[in-house]
Amino acid sequence: MAKTPDEPDFPEGIATRRSRWRLQLVWLVPLVAVLIGGWLAVQAILEKGPTITITFATGEGLEAGKTKIKFKNVDIGVVKSVTLAPDHKNVIATAELTKDAANMLVDGTRFWVVRPRISGGTVSGLGTLISGSFIGMDIGAQNKARRDFVGLETPPVFASGVPGREFVLKSETMGSLDVGAPVFFRRLQVGQITGYKLDADGKGVTLRVFVNAPYDKYVKGDTRFWQASGVDMTLDTNGVKVDTESLVAILIGGLAFGSPPDAVDVTEAATKTEFQLFNDRAEAMKQHDRIVDKYVFNFRESVRGLTVGAPVDFRGIVVGEVSAIYTRFDPVKKEFSIPVEIRYYPERFTSRLESGDKGGRIVQDRRRVAEWLVEKGFRGQLRTGNLLTGQLYIALDFFPNAPKAAMNWDANPPEIPIVPGGLQSLQDSVTALVEKLNKIPFEGIGKDLRQTLQSADTLLKTLDNSVAPEAKATLAAARTALQSANSTLRPDSAIAQSTADTMRELSRTAVSFRVLADYLERHPEALLRGKPEDQK
């Protein structure tokens, strides 16, 4: 196009094409936001902890998004959901934990709901009345990782890592014990019961106890455990003695342990060593013999008052105890008997033999010793141990007059001969006396006695009719003679006066004779010469 002279001279514009990849400044902000969000997402993924499931019997105290999981009172996770198990028998809580808690999720890790509890003498979880329930955690001692757990219904008695040792106790019954009951040593609380279960055969109970350090070193190989519940009262020559471990043991029960004074095994017991739990201290501390023989006494009298555990003694020294009582029928003799089995401790009876300067054990050949004792009259006998309760015991002693007998080694256990008890002997004597009395012809004797009485009655009647009148006359004459003699012998009678004068004359005569005799004894010549005249 031609320019006119009046038009200004402008540069000619050249059009250029826009690039498709040119970044607009307005998109910078969203891009930064996306980058930040991605970084946060990656960071969240990297920092996310493990997810676990915990199975509980009930959902009490669990709330999704609120219930915390704490270890040593520090939050390490939160419950995300609470659902029923497929079988509707349990509750499954799904929880997310922090990344730092991953290495704590191993076999043996325990979870439980912390809520207010009162169990035995323990009160726990009171702080949850304000803050709400939470899930407590205790780390296991294994190394294998785990993500599924079964929650405890009750909090553990002690946390893992607490110094000390756990032991196993065997008992016939639980008594008044429970989880958390105290364990005492010399009246100091040094541990607690951690759990219990019924044995598979149902014949006993197994308890687990934990003794804290440093007291666990006092549990030796020969240590005895016993129930310290309630009050132990004894009555002896020193009066009434009441013994108990503590007021807590009276209220909720407890255990105690100790070693006997003559303990042999003084090495420290290993973890989970098994001990027997005794009913009381006296039973725990009594002598436990290494040699135990079993024998049986076959009684044919009543054993009412004899119980399992009754003592078997020899002249006041307990050498055994009753272990079983039952009945037996002999089909040959057609009679019943009552076998009583005993546990016999030969070391108590024949532990030492003293003979001059020599001494030693004589229990090596116990069978020969038993035969020798029985040959010498060694027998068993039932005796009364308590007149108030009627309790019996078995006494072993020598009865030289007992019938000859021998040990019956064919029986299992071997049978020791017996002699009847004191009451049985008295009963036998009374029975024999009654039999002898029954043989006396009391009826014939009574008939003869009646005939004799009838004859005596006839004789008395005869005497009364014939002899009595004459006897009356004779008695009257005798009475008259006595009256005459009485009047004659009175002091004022003439005969009495004459008699008195005569006696006086006789006295004077006797005095004269005595004077004459004295003179003649001094002057015997007077018989020839006569008495000389007095010299003037």
Of 396, 414, 435, at which residue does a domain stop?
435
What residues make up the domain containing 125?
A: 47-150
Shared-domain flag, residues 318 and 430: yes
User: 269 lies in a domain?
Assistant: yes
Decide if 524 is inside a domain: no
Quick one: pLDDT band at residue 195, thresholds 50, 70, 90? confident
Average pLDDT rounded to a whole number, residues 318-339: 88
- Looking at the domain assignment, is residue 520 inside a domain? no
**In whole angstroms, what is the distance from residue 461 CA to residue 454 CA?**
11
Q: Are residues 423 and 455 in the same domain?
A: no
For 188, phi then psi, to 5°, come to -100, 135
Average pLDDT for residues 439-459, to the nearest whole number? 71
Residue 202 belongs to some domain of the structure: yes
Kindly state whether residue 462 falls inside one of the protein's structural domains: yes
Residues contacting residue 190 through CB under 8 Å, at least 6 positions apart: 183, 184, 211, 212, 215, 216
Work out whether the CA dihedral 109, 112, 116, 121 comes out positive or negative.
negative
Query: Same domain, yes or no, for 406 and 309?
Result: yes
CA distance linking residue 179 with residue 210, whole number of Å: 11
Task: Tell me if 471 is assigned to some domain.
Answer: yes
The average confidence (pLDDT) of the chain is 77
Domain's final residue, options 150, 178, 205? 150
Is the residue at 155 inside a domain?
Answer: no
Task: Assess contact for 162 and 204: CB atoms under 8 A.
Answer: no
Name the domain count of the chain: 4
pLDDT digits (tens, 9 = 90+) for 61-98: 888 888 999 988 888 899 999 999 999 899 999 999 88
- If you average pLDDT over each of 118-132, 215-229, 412-426, which comes out highest? 215-229
Task: Using alpha carbons, select from 249, 346, 360, 254 the residue that is nearest to residue 295.
Answer: 346
pLDDT tens string 275-290: 999 888 888 887 666 7
Same domain, yes or no: 344 and 471:
no
The arithmetic mean of pLDDT across residues 36-50, rounded, is 74
Query: In terms of domains, do 175 and 74 share one?
Result: no
Both 168 and 255 in one domain: the answer is yes
Q: Does the structure show a pLDDT above 50 at 359?
A: no
Same domain, 416 and 464: no
Domain shared by 419 and 478, yes or no: no
Say if residue 447 is in the same domain as residue 422.
Answer: no
The answer on 326 and 352 residing in a single domain is: yes
In a domain, 500, yes or no: no
pLDDT band with cut points at 50, 70 and 90 for residue 248: low
**236 band by pLDDT with thresholds 50, 70 and 90:** very low
Which of 101-110, 369-378, 428-437 has the weakest average pLDDT?
A: 428-437
Share of the chain above pLDDT 90, in %: 13
User: Is the pLDDT assigned to residue 7 strictly greater than 90?
Assistant: no
pLDDT score recorded for residue 493: 63
Q: Are residues 220 and 130 in the same domain?
A: no
Q: Which of 264, 285, 306 lies at the terminal end of a domain, its last residue?
A: 285
**Max avg pLDDT among 173-187, 205-219, 232-246:** 205-219
Q: What separation in angstroms does the CA of 37 have from each of 27, 43, 192, 344?
A: 16, 10, 54, 87
Are residues 449 and 369 part of one domain?
A: no
Whether 352 has a pLDDT exceeding 60, the answer reads no
pTM for the full predicted model: 0.50
